Chains A and B, each alone.
Chain A
Amino acid sequence: MSPVLEVSNLTRDYHVGGSLFRRAHTVHAVKGVSFSLEKGRTLAVVGESGCGKSTLARMVTLIDPPTSGDILIDGEKVDITHGVPKQLRRKVQIVFQNPYGSLNPRQKIGDVLTEPLLLNTDMPAAQRRERAYEMLVKVGLEPEHFNRYPHMFSGGQRQRIAIARALMLNPSFLVLDEPVSALDLSVQAQILNLLADLQDEFELTYVFISHDLSVVRYIADEVMVMYFGEVVEHGSRDAVFGDPQHDYTKTLFTATPRADVESIRARLARKAQLAEVSA
């Protein structure tokens, strides 16, 4: 089977303009990233702030053009230097981190959901509305939410709306940029379940950007670890979590807080020992 998304040697440089006090220089945000992703799979991109994971997300979502390298979607090479063709725009959708910032406060939910159809298809209004009702139910909301405004929803509900909007055009793949990091633990579990259900139902392909390793371990099929714009480790979830190769991946794992009973017991024992030594 041919991959849904293929990326080869992708780079992105940002030119930081000089001023009276500072010389112009170039930031290499992404330095040669290659991967391919098959239908129905989830690729998790892990790294810290500034590692280039969001820049990568913007490039595969066709928001920013890459400095060099190729993006192939459904086997076709993408060239967006002269704008994004409509049929391509439909294939890629994104869900952002902050559900409070990514919905227009003056737009009713119904309009949020039908707008992608209005812009990208010739569907008549009645059919658009029908599709929006269906989608609301799919993501666990009610049809009567159609006429409400974003401020009437909680953070978790807004993230459901953002996911619904992204799915309106039946995209080939979905980029999820930290979709649960702004949510409470209980709501996070609901959204992760929803994403898993939708993936099963529609055979969706996800590029899941996250810094939270416990979430990644739960949702990913493949894991890609980025560090200063480079991919330092890429493999199946079990390979990366079971036997990390790169030092940075190991550092990430040891830094992640552990909430199991054995770790707590070990910590308390260390603490008691220290107290004894100093006493």
Chain B
Amino acid sequence: MALPEEWEAAPEPGWVAPVLAEEFPGLGIASTVVACGSGRSPAALRERLRELSNRFHGSHAVMLRQRPIPWAYRVFFRHIGLDPDQTRTPVEQVALDRMHDGGFKSRGVLEDAITIATIESGVALTAFDADMLQGRLGLRLLEPGERFAGRRSAMPEGTIAIADESRSLAILFGKMAEGVEVGRRTKRTALVAIGLKGVPDIALEEALWLGASAMRA
């Protein structure tokens, strides 16, 4: 049985700059657009978070880095100069928050959807205001002197960034430029998944589908 079209989250593959593709085979980015913004989570989504809290315990958090997908992100963090014990991988950050808060706390539709998709799939997700993007999303190195909207100083040359076809949008696994984040006025959200070697394509699709379906619920 085919699902209604609005329930299909067809992932759109993005581009990767050749220098990055050569250095990191398997690095990729995929996105899907959901026709809603953020806001307070409905009761059904909050209930889903509560159920997820009951299924995710300390033992899961401890063994997380031995699971293949979270391990792949830890390894990639090491490869790009980040310490995954300081700058946590997305799934480890969500797990740590779960342990700290005693449960997955509801923080809004988008944040809750990303939490559910991240914990269920292990894939790193982020989101942008889809109406602020121009063209397809991709990964590239920042040019010398390139600046982010909302930042006074230039970013270090060679920083890996998420970009669209006109400008850089965010540091990979880091801060976003001003004006592209999902806010109250956002009407369409672009959910973005970062793929790596060791993270199968189907996991990216699953993560995007989980996130999109949670946002639409």
- Report if A and B associate in a common complex: no
Contact surface of B with A, Cβ cutoff 8 Å: none
Contact surface of A with B, Cβ cutoff 8 Å: none
